[in-house]
Structure formats: C-alpha cells, structure tokens
Structure 1
Amino acid sequence: MISPSAPEIFGRAAGDARRLNLVGLLFAAMVVLAIAFVMFMALETARRIDGTVAERTRAEIVDAVADLGAAMGKRAEEYSLWNDAVDRLVVRFDGAWANANVGPYAERLWGLDRSYAWNGSDRLIYASKGGALRGDLDAAAREAADLRPVLTAARTAGRPVSGIVHIGQTPFVFGARVIEYEEGRAALPPDPQKPVQVFLTALEGELAKLAKSRRIAGLRVVPPDTPVVPALASLPLEAIADQPVGILTWKPEQPGGTLVRRIAPYAAGFALALLALLFLFQRVLHRLKRQEPLRLSEARLAQAQRVARLAYTVHLPEEGLEVSANFRELVGLPDDTGPLTIGLYLDRVKPEQRLDVQEAYRRARTENSRFDIEYRIVRADGGHLDLQEVGEPFHDAEGRVLGLITAIQDVTARRLAEETIRHQANYDALTGLPNRPLFYDRLRQALRRAVRLRNRMALLFIDLNRFKWVNDTLGHQTGDMLLREAAQRMAGCLRNSETIARIGGDEFTVILSDIGDREDAERVARRLLDCLSEPFRIAGQTLHISASIGITVAPDQGSDPERLVKNADVAMYHAKRCGTANWTFYDPAMDADALAHLQLENELHEAVTKGQLALFLQPVVDVASGRLAGAEAELRWNHPDRGLLSAGQFLHLAEANGLILTVGGWLLDAACRQLADWRNRGAAGLRLTVPVSPLQIRHVGFAEQVAGSLARHGVPPDRLILELPESAMLSPPDETTRTMQTLRTRGIAFSIGGFGTGYASLGHLRRLPVEFLKIDQAILQDMARNPGNQGMLRAIVELARSMNLTVIAEGIETGEQQALAGEVRCVYAQGRYLGHAVPAESFDPTQTAAGSGRLCPADGEDRL
C-alpha cells in the first residue's frame, strides 16, 4: 500500500478546511437571512398591529363625534318640544323663566357654551352664554349670523338636527329643533317661519374631553387646507350644508413600533455576537447542536416581538411561567417575588372566568391554535384589572409544541367605557331603570320563556296621575326629582325577577314572569299603588300622586310584544277613566271603548264651533231664609249622536288635549251673558259661580279673558264667582296666586269646591284670596248617616268662619241633609233636593220654589 504523501494529507486537510469554511459561510449566510426574515416579520407584524390600533381609534372618534351630535339633538328636543317653551319664549318671552328652564339652565346642567332662540320672523328671542342670558342681543345676532344654515335645516327637517357649524373661526357642535307645542296642543299663530332653538358646545372642548377619556394624544382640529403630516392620523369633518369644518388630527398609538424600537438594539447586538461566534467556530460545525437553546430563545423573542403590546408571558413546560417586567408592574407583583407558575397566576383570575382561561390555554396547546380572551384578575393590592390576552404556541425544531407566548394588555378603561355606553343605550338616564329598547328585549325573552315552559306572564302599564300638573306647575326639575323617587319606590317593592322600565314621560311598565293566576298580578298592582300613596317630599314641597295601571296576560291575550303593550295601554286608560289609584285587566271590548274615546276627543274639537255646548244652572239657596241666592254654572254638550253629555264625560278630554282654554272660555262668556240677562230681568242681586280648571287660571291671559267677558256684557265684577277644585290649593304656583290676587282686586270672588275629599287643609287657604268654601257632598252624606261624626263638620265650619270664609254645603239630596247644613251653620246650600240643574233659558231667577218648595222669592238683594 502506498501511503499518502504529506502534500496529499495537507491538501486533503486543506480541502476539508475549505469545505468546512464553505459550510460555515453558507450556514452563517442562512443565519443572517433568518435574522433578517424574523426582523422583517416583526416589523410587518408591528405595522399591522399599529394599523389595527389606528383603525380602532378612528372608529372610536367617529362614534364619539356621532354620539355627541345625537346627544345635542336630544337636548334640543327636550327643551323645544315643550308647551311651556312655546308660551314663555315665543308667545310671550319670560326672561326669568328662560334663565331657569331652557338655554342658560341647559348650559349650567350640561356644560354647554351658548344657546340661541329665534322667532318665526328670524328675530333673536334670547341669547345665552356661560349659563346666563346675554343683554347684547344685537351683538349676539351678528355673532349668530353663521347659524343661518342651522335654522333652515331645523325648519325643514321636522325633527331635531345636529352637526358641526362655525361661528367665526370657532367650530361648535350644535343641536337644534323647532320650538312647538307637544302633541295635542293647537299650533302656533301663523308666522313667516317656525321658531327655532339652538344649543352649542365648543368642538375643541369636547375633543379635549374625548382625548382625555380615550387617551388619544394630540387630538385637535386644523383648517381643511392644512398640509398632511405623515406621522399624524386624520379624519375630515363636514359642517351642515356639506361645508368643510376642518380636519381632526391625532398622534396614533404605535404599540408594535414601540416594542420593535425597544428590542431592536438587543436584537442587533445578539445578531452581531452570533455572527462573530459563527466565524470563530466555523471549523467546529459538528458542535452546532449546542446552540439549539440559543436558537429557540431567538424564536421566542421574535414571536414576542410580533404579539406583545404592553406585557408578555411565556408558558414553559412543567407549568412554569416566565413574565416580563411590565407584567409584574401590571399585576402589582414586587420584583423579589419568587418564581410564578401558571396555577398561581390562574388563582388571580375571577372564579367565574377561571375555567374559560384554562380552556383557552389547553386548546392552544392541543390544537396548535391562537387564542384571544378577555378576563378580570385581582391585583396583589386587592384592586381589579380587566386584561386582554393574545397568545399562540411556540415549537422546537421538530415542530413539537413547547409552550405558549402571550401578550397582555390592560383594557380596564376600555371596558369601563363600553359598560358606560352599554348602560346609556339600555337604561334611562333620569331614573336608572331599563329604557324602551331594553324593555322590549326583556319582554321578548319573557314571552319566549312563557311559550317554552307553557306558563303565563303579565304586563303592567303604569301612568302617574297628576305628574303633568307637577311638571307644568312646579317645573321640570321638580318633575324630574318626583320621577326619580317614584321610580325608586316602585322598583323597591318589586322582586329581582320582576322587570320595571320607564318607556317615556311618566309611563312605566312591569314584566311579571311565571304568574299563576290574575291574583298574582293584582297583588303586584296593589303593592305599586300602596308605595305611591305615601306623600312625596320634593324640593321643600309635599306632593301627592297616584297611578293608573293596565294589565294584560300572555299568551292568553297575545304573544306579540307590540300587541301586549297596546293591550296594557288601553287597559290603563280604562282604569284612569274609572278613577285614580286603580287597576284594570285588559278586555277586548276595551278596544272599542278606546276607539270611541278617541272619536269623542276628535268631535270635541268641533263642538265649540258648531254650537253644541250648552249652559245649565243649578240654584244656590240661602240656608237661613230659603231664598234663591244665585246659581252654579254647569257645562253640557249636546252631542249629535250621544245626546246630552255632562261635563264629567268630556272635560277631562279638554284638559288632556289643550281644549280646556277654549271650552272654559266659552263657559265663562256664557255665564257673563247670563248675568246680564238676570240684570235685565230684575235679578241683578244674584251671583253666578263658574267652575275654572287650574290649567285655565295658570294661562298667562286668563285675567284679561275674564275682564274682557265682563266688559263685553256689562256685568259688575262682584256678580261673578270663580270656583277652583280643592287640588288647586296644594302647592299653587306663583302664576296662579298672582292671577287670583289680580282678579280679586278687581272685585271677582273665588271659591274652593269639593273641600274635604283630598289632601288639602284649611291652612292651605291662607295662601289664596278665597271667599267661599264649598263642603263636599260626601262629608254631608257621611254625617247624616253617622250623627256622632257631626262634631268634625262643625269644627270645619267654625274654623272656616274664623278665617272669614263663607261655607256652602253642596250635594243636598234630602231634607235631613238640608237640616244638618243649617245646624252646623252653613250659609248657603245647593243640590238636587233644592233644585236640579236646568238649561239656562229655563232657569227662573225670580222663582218661588225649588226642591219641594224650599225656595222663597228672590227680592233682588245681594245674596251670595
């Protein structure tokens, strides 16, 4: 055998060395390419993450601007579709009322910047800024000239409008609406245009709030012609009439780029060190396997760069958990805390979510899949934190799953904002009860449950009686406080399984699931009425309200939500007609009653113009002498189909739809005409009592209306007595008291009717200029049946006499009751026993007898 020569040995060695060098260089090149690829993927992933965050921020800004505009439109709706706003701004401007109820009040309540109102002739009614009315209306009108497109949009839209508009160089978010009466009230007198009310808030201020609440850096508005800055995100804004407002710009959050910049120096140093090691040890390629942990670490780091945002964790084999410093800070763990395990971390997850988190980890490992989950943990200091965790598995060289790499972000603020938005969308802002959308959702759920389980459920429709009186008389603030307390009371007397919702105004609904029979629903209705029967102490006032409740049962009376609500609504109105503090179950026959009720309301509009109203008179007698002292005017309606209707059958409709001013004005004028007729017939000494609704006397022109009727018929004012119901004594508004005092100084007397059946006391009379007090017939009837109770009646009469009040006994139906009225020293009396109400043309002011001959001839003296 020939041995290889030394040159061959050295040449072979040199060849091996060259091959080893080549392999080393090729391997090094592959490593460099791999590093470059990983860095490229990290940068691309960071870019995508930044893009996702930017789009989410853009969507949040768009939604926030839209929500702001909707909120401004809703506020304009609340303060413009309002009877008082029409009367106090358009019909007759009341600066004090405006300052306390509309523009200035809304600015103080909602933090708005300014508000304006124009009449139909485009004259500025008021201007407000900083929560106070402005005195410089001319300057304000010039400033508000830029709002002309807003006025045009509001008048043509027929609904609230909102958007963005410039005043000068300053952009504002506006809400505008036509000022008009609520449904049922007559329209305003004709005018060139419709009156409009506009509320504005500065866009810059709202953007500052948005930037602070959503943590958006550099959010501001720039002019529309501002050059584009690549580093900033932007969103064009348009004002009303498609005019450009400007461009919203902000500095987008870049969590991916931030992470890449933080890791890049370490990655570059690591790559250089690796290349140096590869160059130094290229001759020992057979030992490259020792670098396997290093390559795995590199892979884990690359994946962490791709998925991490604020903190990251690495799930190691054997339940080990490697966490970043940011994670420890997030969870509140000190740096010297010992090693963590997955089990110890899961112990911090809320118990009701712990299984979901465990299942997400398990599926990621077993199915080699990515997961994205949100949950709540308890920090080391006891606080709560909402987290979003995104992760995926990492593998060894053979593709086996070794563990999980996750990125964790604190989403507590976002969840809180989402919960706030969700609550605002589903709950009434005033009472905190479920609103109409949430009510219908729960009603549908209750219906599905009833059908599935084959049981029954009930729906209660609740309307608060006298709330409109409180709201119109004492103001919206008092009305809002009353609504809140009433809602709290009703919610407090219901079980957790029973849903109560506010669906609008003073209307509420209650869903009762799994009822056994009608008695279950009746028990709930009784509890609700009992809790509302207690007096309300609101803003220093003692208020009394009640409720009317309509009840329908499903699926017996339908399974469609809209149909059930309609049924309960119809039943509620039937209960209201039957008396306050009452409930009624729906019956299909009520639909016909409701239709007839609506038809009657429509026909009442025509009754005045067609001459269908009639004046009836009931005599009033001097108890001591039996002489005719005067009469009480009563209203009748000669209905063409239903015959003669008493006031009790239709007057509530007039009060509900605003016709009471017209109908009451007709009765007042007819009464004055009758007094003039008596004077011509030689009975000038008689006085005539005319019932007046509290709604009439609160009207700004009532005193002039009374004076006009008296002057038109030449009647002395002291012949007329205006009678108010007992309820008018409870917390009378300033307008009512002033009107009564004005009329009293002109010689017109006032009477309080039906005393003793409500909550009023004689102490309330001290506030009002009242001369006559009419004792309700129910008290006399009770005293006649129970003689032992007559002492209370005597005490009422004596106390009234001590206050210089003349007492009238009404509803005398028997001679015994007439005798009792005389015994307790009532001055006057009236009732069917003494004389029925008859048409005015049939009433004889010189009659000799009525009610079994109880009247003596009237001698013309001043009796009543």
Structure 2
Amino acid sequence: MGELPYSSLDFAGAAQEPVQRILIVDDEARLRDSYRELLAGRAEIVECADGREAMARLDSDTFDVVLLDIRLPDISGLAVLQWARQRAISAIVIMVSADPDIDSAIDALRGGAGEFVRKPCDPELLLRAVERALQRRRLERSHALLAARLEQSERLHRFLVEQAPDIIYTLDEAGRFVFVNGRVESLLGFCREELVGQPYTELVHEEDRERARYAFAERRTGGRASANVEIRLRCKNDDVVHVDNRFIVAMLSATGIYETEMPRDALRFMGTYGIARDITERKRAEEKISFQAFHDLLTQLPNRVLFRDRLALALSQAARRATLLGVMFIDLDRFKTVNDSFGHAEGDQLLKTVAQRLKHCLRAGDTLARLGGDEFTVMLPDLLHADDVVGVAEKIAQELGAPLMLGGQEFRPTASIGIAVFPRDGETVEALIAHADLAMYQVKNAGKNSFGFYSPHMSEARRERLSLENDLQLAIERREFVLHYQPQFSQRSGQMIGMEALLRWQHPRLGLLAPGGFIALAEETGLICRISDWVLQEGCRQLALWHADGHRHLRLALNLSARDFERKDLLERVVAAPARHGIGCDRLEIEITESLLLDDAEDVIATVRQLRQHGVRVAIDDFGMRYSSLNYLRRFPVSSIKIDQSFVRDLGRDQGAASIIHAIVGIAEGFGLHLIAEGVESEEQARRLADLGCEDMQGYYFGRPLPADEVLEWATP
C-alpha cells in the first residue's frame, strides 16, 4: 500500500485561504470586549448576547470557532451546543463558564465541545485553546478539500485511510484482522503486519473483552450497529507515550460487512469494518475535572462535598449495624500567625505537612478531609466505644507536635479538636459536623492545643450567642447603647480634669451590659466600627454640652478597637467628630491597648502619628500588663500612659507593685508623657500614688461610671 505525498496532488486553481471567523456568545458585554481584544487579528469576530441569536447566526452564516458561555439569559449554552450538533454545524465549540458544577463540564465535552475553559479565564489558556481550534479547522478544511479530490480514486482513498488520525480496521468473519492502517503503530506500538491474521482480542484490554465482543467484531449494520463504545486498547511496549504506557481509551464504532450481490434474505457475513478514535486525553481531562470537584488541590484530600457524601453513606451503615461513628473537627492553632510571619507559601507547606501527619494517625477505612483554610475533618466509622476516639485524638496531638522547619525556624504545630459521636451527639451529617465544630470552639476558648467532646449545653450557649448577635445588629437603630462617664481627677489641685466614656448596652431582656459582654462579639461580626462611630459622635456631643455649661477644661477619653485601626478612614472619622460639635481635637484622647502595638505596627504608628499631628491625644491603656516595651514608647508618638488597676490594687499588700509604679512614673517622666492611674478605690491608694509621683487618677474613690446627667453631680472626692 503506497503513500501519496501531498506534493503529487494538483492544487492548481485552489482559492486563497479564506479568513477564519469566530462567534463570541456571552451575555456580559465587558467579557465580549475582552475576548474581542484578545483575539484581534487572528480571525474575524462576530458577537451575540444570547442563545437564540447565536442559533440564528449559526443557521445563516458560517463560523470556524464558537466561544459559548454555558449560562445565557434565554437558553443554556449546552442546549445551543446540542442544537448545533443536530444541525451538523461544523464550527468547533469552546465552552466558557464559571459554573462550578462538574456535570456541566463533562456534559459539554461529551456533547461535542472541543474545549472547556473555566471562568475567570486565563488569557493565555483561552488564547491557546482558540488557536488550537483555528488550526484544527484549517486542517479540517484542507482535509475536506483533499477528500473531495480523492473521492473517485482507490489509491487516494487508501492514502486517506493511512493518514487518518484514527485506527481503521477490517476483520474477517472469524474476528481476525484483515486490514489495519498505520495509525495502530503510533498509537499502540504494534506493526500492522504482526496483527494481520490475529484475533481482535490481541488489542483489547483483558478487562474490556466481554464488552468488546459485541462492539469490536460487530455484525449488525445501519442504526443498530455499534457507535461510540469506549474500549481500552492495550499498548505493546513502553515506546508508546500515554498515561501509564499500558493502554489507551478508544471510542469505537463498527458495522458488519455483507456480500451485496446475493439476494437480501441470503446475505453472507464477510466481516467487520470499524474505526477506533483515541480519546485518552479527553478521559484524562474528565477525570481531572472530576477529581478537582471533590478534592482539595493543595493537600489532595477529599473536600467538603466528598466528606459529606461519605459521611452520609457511613451514617446509614452505622444505623443499620447499630455501631458508633465519630466525627472530629480539627482547627490548627496560630495558623494566621504562621501566614503573617512566614508568608502564604510556608503556610501552604505547613498545611500539606499537617495533612500527611493526620493520615498517619488514621485507619484505612477512616476519611480525612480539608474543609478549607486550616480546618480539617475526620470520620471514624465502626467504633465499639465513644472513648475510642480519645486514642485517635491523643495520637494526632502527639504526631502534630513533632517539630518542623518554617522559614528557617523550628515550629511545633498544635490543633484544637472537637468530637461528636453518632448517635449520641446527632444522627445527621449536619448535626454531627456542627456539634464537632462547637466542641472545637469550646477547646479554642479554653486555651487550645487539646480535644473535647460535644455536650448539649454548647448548643444552648451557641443559641444564646446567636440571639445576642441578632440583638446587637439592631441595638444602634433601637438606640440601646448609652455612655457612662467616669471622672479623672488631679490629686494636686483636687479638680476634675476629664472624663472617660465607657460604653454600656441597655439590653431589653438582659438589662445593662458592660462591654465585656458584647465587645468581642461586635469585633467578630464587624459591627464594632459602627459602634465606635456612635461612641465618637455621642461622646463629643456630650463634651460639647459640658463645655457650653462652663466646664471647658474637661477632656474626654474613649476606647477604640483594634478593628478600628484596620479602617483606612480612621483619621477622618476621629478628627471629624470633635469638629462637628465645635470642640478642639486636643480635648479628645483615644485609648489603645498595648497588644495593638504588635499588630501591623508600622500602619498603627503611622495612624497614631497622624492623629497626634491633628492634636488628638493618644493614651496606652493598662500599661505594664502585656507587651510593654520602651522601644514602642520611643517609636509611638503617644501622649499618655495609664497605670493598670491591678498594680494600684496591690499597693500596700505587695511591695513589688509600688516598685513597678515607681518605675512607670520614671518612664513617663523620661518620655515626657502624661500619667494617670486607674482603679483607685481608697484614700490610702490615692495618697500612696501621689507619694510615688502619680498625680492624676480615676476610680471608684472619685466616682463610679454614671450617666452624663449624674456624673458631674457626684464626681467629687
């Protein structure tokens, strides 16, 4: 069988290569503009915004490539694809979609789409996909032209068979190869000479031979003949490059061959004609998409979807067998610190290491999944006793605690583990995961690096918290927040020098709540910034009233949350509040905690410096209790420090307290800072503080926090 080189064909008079055309189908104009700009110069671009317009265009015009979105405003892109295939429209369809559903991607590929690209599209990937499709269309056009010229020539027909990208074969009536084209060698490594006379089973994967029996050596013809049957064909040797060098996946279509010159009722079966198309790459793409839909790409563990599916199946089995099942919710401790200190690359490496260590602690039938971030879940089926989970938890704690290197430093991971057991702690997927999560948070709140079982009171506490969160959402609108004020006095002059504004919540059911009962929740939910805005405005409004009544010497101290310092407009908000009420910025003092100095120190320093430049006073609250550092006092342009009340309380009982206060007084004098002591409850404490050099004070001795209309009345020592 000789081969016919392309140079021997007569292409005289062939028309110049026509301009290729692309149809973009997407309802978002900005995406169509992006695609058009990306593909400019490669083909003629036509656009439309919905499926019906696309079908009308395809019905009346010719295109080489269609960029087709799955989600269109009128009909699905899959429906357009199906319609195009039914109409035998030859354009290559590239599906583009943000749909996370794995089924849509597989349906698109099986429905005849040439490529599937997921939104948001990587421009390089999209461009390569389009260029491949355009090249394929050019080849198809050339092939079609060639086929038309070779239609009447047996020699040219054989040339086409040999150049086909698919394996083309014929079998005799006994299922032995009579002919197979040269493609079998490049795909499978077999020479056709060694296959002729051999049974077709020589090529078929042993596990697929039963199915191949009715497809490979097909005897039927017409509409009943085999079409698009997936069969694995084995490779002869390792010279053939495929997924595992053992087999390819082929799409097989075959039909019986009969002696046509005999009477119809006496047709003699002569053999089978078939085509096998290599779809290995498509199958790999489908498997990859399927894996990504059900696994975490970083750790290769099952994701939330697969975990819930396996848990649901295991629960039905546990109920049938009357066995116990455990669910563990694992959250790494200090993971945010790792990311912030060492970077996300090191954080990702830590997650992969943790995943491997967790695997080593589990049985073959257990399931470990990553839910996202630093959260993992474990399913432990077939338990004899609920306490069997304890051994696994202890093993996990020991395995995780082994040191590893992060950023050139030794690091020992720890985790907080919550445990729920079926059926005691819940009988559904949702209940068990939620209860294990609650138990984990209880461990977090108790100090981390441990494990704990769920108990019903945790759900009650969660319900109370959710109720409080809902009430907090409405508290500002309902005007339920109030400010109480505690006076600050100068011991030397005996005069009131200022007020500290202290937030209270007049809860309609729980009564008057101090900040400790809701501030942490407000910070967690993001409501703290709205609350701080209210405190700023209400405090400055009240201070303006006191100034108008003749108390112009008073200044106001109020607290801001660390979350407030994350806002870019903090300076504008703080400066605008006193200006709105006609008081000077120097009458306002913002109190911050020492722990804030360690969080994003450079940003906080810049914000504090800007506040001071506008005249706003800034004080460090509870000084000496946390991370006191002379270096921070040197870098932060604060105006005041407040001695924590715990040192004041120990005066007269602990000589060390007096020494600490004396040292703080010296620090304040050395840095030129205003000093005030809080928590003064007796005349003796006030006298001792004055002897140590601290003259300005606040506390119950001078006056309790009271509403604005009462505080001036009672604020006299």
- Deviation string for 1:800-858 (max 9, x for gaps)? 87666667676789999999999998887767788754445444598564xxxxxxxxx
**1:413 matched residue in structure 2:** 281
Tell me, which stretches of 5 or more residues in structure 1 are unaligned? 1-60, 74-102, 116-128, 131-145, 149-159, 166-170, 177-198, 220-231, 233-249, 270-303, 850-864
What secondary structure sits across from 1:553 in the alignment? strand
Q: Does 1:718 align with 2:586?
A: yes
Please tell me whether the aligned partners of residues 691 and 722 of structure 1 are also in contact (alpha carbons under 8 angstroms): yes
The 5-angstrom pairing of residues 252-651 of structure 1 reads 264-265=154-155, 309-310=166-167, 325-332=182-189, 356=207, 372-374=230-232, 379-381=237-239, 383-385=241-243, 386-389=247-250, 409-428=277-296, 434-448=302-316, 450-451=318-319, 454-461=322-329, 484=348, 487-488=351-352, 490-495=354-359, 497=362, 499=367, 501=369, 503=371, 508-514=375-381, 517=387, 518-520=389-391, 522-523=393-394, 550-571=418-439, 585-618=453-486, 630-651=498-519
Please tell me whether the aligned partners of residues 525 and 549 of structure 1 are also in contact (alpha carbons under 8 angstroms): no
Q: Does 1:745 align with 2:613?
A: yes
Tell me, which stretches of 5 or more residues in structure 2 are unaligned? 1-21, 39-47, 51-68, 75-92, 99-117, 221-225, 260-266
- Deviation string for 1:101-160 (max 9, x for gaps)? xx9xxx9xxxx9759xxxxxxxxxxxxx99xxxxxxxxxxxxxxx999xxxxxxxxxxx9
Aligned-pair distance for 1:748?
0.9
Aligned-pair distance for 1:638?
1.4
- Whole-Å separation in 2 of the counterparts to 1:603 and 1:807: 38
- Whole-Å separation in 2 of the counterparts to 1:704 and 1:545: 41
Please tell me whether the aligned partners of residues 464 and 545 of structure 1 are also in contact (alpha carbons under 8 angstroms): yes
Amino acid at match of 1:440: R
Please tell me whether the aligned partners of residues 166 and 278 of structure 2 are also in contact (alpha carbons under 8 angstroms): no
Q: Does 1:210 align with 2:129?
A: yes
Aligned-pair distance for 1:614?
2.2
Aligned-pair distance for 1:414?
1.4
Q: Does 1:728 align with 2:572?
A: no
**1:94 matched residue in structure 2:** none
Change (3 A) 1:329 1:468: closer
Amino acid at match of 2:637: P
Please tell me whether the aligned partners of residues 163 and 173 of structure 1 are also in contact (alpha carbons under 8 angstroms): no
Amino acid at match of 2:183: N
- Whole-Å separation in 2 of the counterparts to 1:776 and 1:545: 34
Change (3 A) 1:668 1:392: closer
Aligned-pair distance for 1:618?
4.5
Aligned-pair distance for 1:637?
0.9
Please tell me whether the aligned partners of residues 550 and 575 of structure 1 are also in contact (alpha carbons under 8 angstroms): yes
- Whole-Å separation in 1 of the counterparts to 2:307 and 2:330: 14
Aligned-pair distance for 1:417?
1.4
- Whole-Å separation in 1 of the counterparts to 2:566 and 2:314: 45
Please tell me whether the aligned partners of residues 387 and 409 of structure 1 are also in contact (alpha carbons under 8 angstroms): no
- Whole-Å separation in 1 of the counterparts to 2:379 and 2:628: 36
What secondary structure sits across from 2:311 in the alignment? helix
- Whole-Å separation in 2 of the counterparts to 1:566 and 1:432: 24
Aligned-pair distance for 1:691?
1.0
The 5-angstrom pairing of residues 108-257 of structure 1 reads 114=34, 163=72, 208-211=127-130, 217-218=136-137
- Whole-Å separation in 2 of the counterparts to 1:715 and 1:330: 85
Amino acid at match of 1:388: V
Aligned counterpart in structure 1 of residue 564 of structure 2, from 689, 692, 696: 696
- Whole-Å separation in 2 of the counterparts to 1:345 and 1:821: 99
Please tell me whether the aligned partners of residues 672 and 713 of structure 1 are also in contact (alpha carbons under 8 angstroms): yes
- Whole-Å separation in 1 of the counterparts to 2:665 and 2:617: 19
Change (3 A) 1:366 1:161: closer
Aligned-pair distance for 1:789?
12
- Whole-Å separation in 2 of the counterparts to 1:322 and 1:776: 95
- Whole-Å separation in 1 of the counterparts to 2:648 and 2:466: 37
Aligned-pair distance for 1:649?
1.6
Change (3 A) 1:381 1:457: same
- Deviation string for 1:368-424 (max 9, x for gaps)? 999843377585248544502559999999x9x999998655433213311332133
Amino acid at match of 2:558: V
What secondary structure sits across from 1:218 in the alignment? helix
- Whole-Å separation in 2 of the counterparts to 1:762 and 1:315: 95
* Larger RCO of the pair (alpha carbons < 8 Å, separation 6+): 1
- Deviation string for 1:545-603 (max 9, x for gaps)? 99876543223222322333343455556667767778664333444433332332232
**1:769 matched residue in structure 2:** 637
Aligned length in residues? 597
- Whole-Å separation in 1 of the counterparts to 2:230 and 2:95: 38
- Deviation string for 1:497-529 (max 9, x for gaps)? 56554556x583412314652524654785799
* Rg larger in structure: 1
**CA RMSD of the aligned region, Å?**
6.8
Change (3 A) 1:113 1:534: farther
Please tell me whether the aligned partners of residues 312 and 327 of structure 1 are also in contact (alpha carbons under 8 angstroms): no
- Whole-Å separation in 1 of the counterparts to 2:248 and 2:153: 23
Higher mean Cα deviation, 459-468 or 667-676?
459-468
Please tell me whether the aligned partners of residues 387 and 408 of structure 1 are also in contact (alpha carbons under 8 angstroms): no
Aligned-pair distance for 1:635?
1.1
- Whole-Å separation in 1 of the counterparts to 2:304 and 2:687: 58
What secondary structure sits across from 2:292 in the alignment? helix
Please tell me whether the aligned partners of residues 200 and 216 of structure 2 are also in contact (alpha carbons under 8 angstroms): no
Please tell me whether the aligned partners of residues 642 and 678 of structure 2 are also in contact (alpha carbons under 8 angstroms): yes
- Deviation string for 1:227-271 (max 9, x for gaps)? xxxxx9xxxxxxxxxxxxxxxxx86999xx99x9899549999xx
Larger % of helix: which? 1
- Deviation string for 1:188-235 (max 9, x for gaps)? xxxxxxxxxxx999999876533566797229xxxxxxxxxxxx9xxx
Per the normalisation by structure 2, the TM-score is 0.59
Aligned-pair distance for 1:680?
6.5
- Whole-Å separation in 2 of the counterparts to 1:755 and 1:376: 76
**1:301 matched residue in structure 2:** none
Higher mean Cα deviation, 493-502 or 812-821?
812-821
What secondary structure sits across from 1:637 in the alignment? strand
What secondary structure sits across from 1:495 in the alignment? helix
Change (3 A) 1:209 1:367: closer
- Whole-Å separation in 2 of the counterparts to 1:172 and 1:268: 33
**2:59 matched residue in structure 1:** none
- Whole-Å separation in 1 of the counterparts to 2:556 and 2:577: 14
Aligned-pair distance for 1:642?
0.6
Change (3 A) 1:457 1:781: farther
What secondary structure sits across from 2:563 in the alignment? helix
**2:107 matched residue in structure 1:** none
- Deviation string for 1:9-67 (max 9, x for gaps)? xxxxxxxxxxxxxxxxxxxxxxxxxxxxxxxxxxxxxxxxxxxxxxxxxxxx99xx99x
Change (3 A) 1:611 1:455: same
- Whole-Å separation in 2 of the counterparts to 1:722 and 1:595: 35
